[in-house]
Amino acid sequence: MYLSLYPSIHPSIHPSIHPSIHSSLCLVFLPLCGSMPLAGWVESPGYPRGYEPFTSLTWARCAPPGHTLTLALTHLDLEDGYECENDALKVYADGSLISTLCGTMSLEELRLSVNPSLVSSPGGCLNMSFSADYSNTERHAGFRGFYTIQDYDECDDPNNECSHFCYNFIGGYMCACPPGYLLNADNHTCSVSCTEDLSGSVRGQVNPPGSPESYADDAHCSYSLSVQEGLQLVLEFIGDFDVEAKPNGECADAVRIVTRSKTHGPFCGTVAPGLIDTGSSKVQILFDSDSAGTNKGFTVVYKTKRMTCPIDVTPHSTVRPLHQQYVTGATLTVTCDKGSAVELPSGPGIKSNMTYETRCQKNGLWKPLYKCQLVDCGVPSLPYAVKVEELVSTHYKSEIHFNCSSKYYQLESEEAFTCEAQGLWESRTGQTKMPRCLPICGLTETKTFSSGRILGGKRAKPGDIPWHLLIKSPRGGASLINDRWAVTAAHVVDGHKSLTLHGGMVDALYQKAVVMETEKIIIHPDYEKGISDDSRTSFNNDIALLKMSSRVELGPNLIPICLPEKSEGAALEGKMGTVSGYGMTDKVNTARMLHYADIGEYETEKCNETPTNKEGNLVIFTGNMFCAGLEGSSDSCQGDSGGPLFVPKSGMGNLGDPYRLKGIVSWGPNCRDHSYKGYYTKVQNYLAWIKETIDQEEQ
């Protein structure tokens, strides 16, 4: 709504508005009176006689909320100049320059080209600044303008968002709704008032507001139906069904039928739902529409019939007796199917294959009601490196298969496991313990061994002997036998509570070696402790197990070696094996690089030619040892103790005949006296002790 003051004021009234006009204005703009004038004149100093040199003027006014401030120049006579460099009048709206004026313009020119732009935003401000230079020889009159505060018609603003009707008033606006609609809390949008309680009515019909013509926009209707217990409501859509749907089939508008236990719908489109036996004495019919569309709606009629209880009491069960309908008072015996169970509300846990009796109540519900649910075996707890191929379901009769997370492991059993009725995963052979992934042992990824110089031996390259571990202090070796255990000679680790081992390398100074810390050192219980190695006369049971503090990550340069098979013979019988170590060579006492040598096992008679210790006493040879070497050529030596002697010899292992740990470097004569004979702990004699110890530690 705009109120123009300019035409009602005679130009001769100056400089203020006539009192009678001001009084009438206060009646119209009562909230604004007393704060600021609603209209007035603004002019340059000395107008109309002319302004003096170096004259300046600043002027500012602001409109109250819901109003705008307009300025209409009636006279403009200033000194002209290039880009108004001499005298200039500048007008600002809300802080932004909107016009720079100079020269002389007629009233018509001002009305057409200047005045329409001299308007503030709602609640905004207008500012003017006038400045003259050093001369006004032509006695230019200056300027004069009339300002007014006018109500802003917010209803013309496309951003006011009134959904239906907009009414402007001085200083603001309001949104309104057509009959039957309510203004929402946002004070801009309207929704239809269609909430109705039809409780007690046993017959009738429901239509959305506006139907059978186009139903109302932005409707959110709720029709509540309620009848006495023992009766249930039956709903049927009759006549045309026309509820707006989107092109993809989803509902733009929708009708829903809600009971205490179920929601039917949403329904939309042009195909009416079928007859709905609600099975409930209380029903809500809900209808929602958006802000557009010309659809016709629907008609749903309701009636009652005697309450019945659902035929399907609970899934995964059988009932007796079996009828087409169960009315109030009927009783049933419910038995959960095999593989389903009931979680009792009280008492111990889950009860499988439960049988119970239930009765149809007036409210259409069975009581008591225990839901038979499929037994859920849950996600199995898997051993290290084991993973499930694909876990689709964990319920009764679901089947899972396993594999290993690394190519350096192999499943000990590839049986599938099935979720059984007792809630356990079970294999076809009755196993309930999950299969393990065991490290693949005794297979190297290198095909040939490199040459080089162990005493009289060759230098290994990465991956040749990936089970060999180095103990730097005390100097010795060990063999990795799985991803957490290693075996070594007892005399190497005797007296030590913890050790550091290095693997995955052939260079003792390799910076990226795999470093392993021991969690436990277990020396064979029959090993004789506390005797100096130099004076020792018995190295019987010279074997120890090392448990790492964590599993090692296997790779091409770090792989365990297989233990011997129980059926292997005691002697190599002419076969060759390989011994490796970082010990003494022909040139140095301790080698930086890993060396190996192919050697043969001697007959027992030759091994009985036992050497003496440094004190000259014979060292006892027992059946827990064997000796090996290659006369005039190679042998293990000082610093190699605890390291492996494995078969077959280097470069000959394969999938059918993997490398196995035959012996552990134990003792021997001075290896530089060229007797080339070393004594080794016979690992085959300790298979039972190794297995029992590891099993006990990993329980």
DSSP string, 254-273: EEEEE-SS-EEEEE-BSSPP
| Cβ atoms of 410 and 404 closer than 8 Å | yes
Q: Which of 67, 140, 468, 491 is catalytic?
A: 491
- CA nearest to 626, candidates 681, 675, 568, 687: 681
Q: At CB < 8 A and 24+ separation, what contacts does 506-514 make?
A: 506/459, 506/460, 506/461, 506/462, 506/464, 506/465, 506/593, 506/594, 507/592, 507/593, 507/594, 508/470, 508/472, 508/582, 508/591, 508/592, 508/593, 508/594, 509/592, 514/552, 514/553, 514/558
| Cβ atoms of 260 and 307 closer than 8 Å | no
Tokens of 22: 């001001």
End-to-end CA distance of the chain: 89
641 annotated active-site: yes
188 annotated active-site: no
Size (the chain), residues: 699
| Cβ atoms of 297 and 211 closer than 8 Å | yes
| Cβ atoms of 402 and 370 closer than 8 Å | no
Tokens of 320: 């007796």
For residue 591, the SS3 value is coil
Token pair 């090996």 in the structure block, residue: 628
Exposed/middle/buried for residue 328 (C-beta within 10 Å: 0-12, 13-18, 19+): middle
- Other CB atoms closer than 10 Å to residue 430's CB: what's the count? 7
Establish how many alpha carbons lie within 13 A of residue 210's alpha carbon, considering only the half-sphere containing its beta carbon.
24
User: Which residues, in sequence order, are CB contacts of 98 under 8 Å at separation 6+?
Assistant: 91, 92, 117, 118
Tokens of 521: 């050192």
C-alpha to C-alpha distance for 416 and 242, rounded to whole angstroms: 54
Tokens of 387: 């993973």
Q: Which of 217, 218, 542, 635 is catalytic?
A: 542
Separation in Å, CA 46 to CA 131, 140, 310, 337: 13, 10, 98, 107
- CA nearest to 29, candidates 160, 169, 140, 163: 169
- CA nearest to 270, candidates 300, 302, 239: 239
Query: Can you say which residues are annotated as belonging to the binding site for Ca(2+)?
Result: 79, 87, 133, 135, 151, 154, 168, 172, 244, 253, 290
Tokens of 326: 């169960």
Helix or strand holding residue 606 (H, E):
helix 604-607
Strands 195-197, 220-226: pairing is: parallel
Separation in Å, CA 20 to CA 16, 294, 529: 12, 56, 125
Which is it for the CA torsion 565, 569, 575, 580, positive or negative?
Answer: positive
Exposed/middle/buried for residue 522 (C-beta within 10 Å: 0-12, 13-18, 19+): buried
Q: Which residue type is seen at 639?
A: G
C-alpha to C-alpha distance for 204 and 285, rounded to whole angstroms: 13
Query: Can you say which residues are annotated as belonging to the binding site?
Result: 79, 87, 133, 135, 151, 154, 168, 172, 244, 253, 290
C-alpha to C-alpha distance for 577 and 564, rounded to whole angstroms: 13
542 annotated active-site: yes
| Cβ atoms of 270 and 253 closer than 8 Å | no
Counts for the chain of helices (H) and strands (E), in that order: 5, 50
Q: Which of 281, 317, 641, 650 is catalytic?
A: 641
Separation in Å, CA 18 to CA 29, 63, 261: 16, 22, 77
Q: Which are the catalytic amino acids?
A: 491, 542, 641
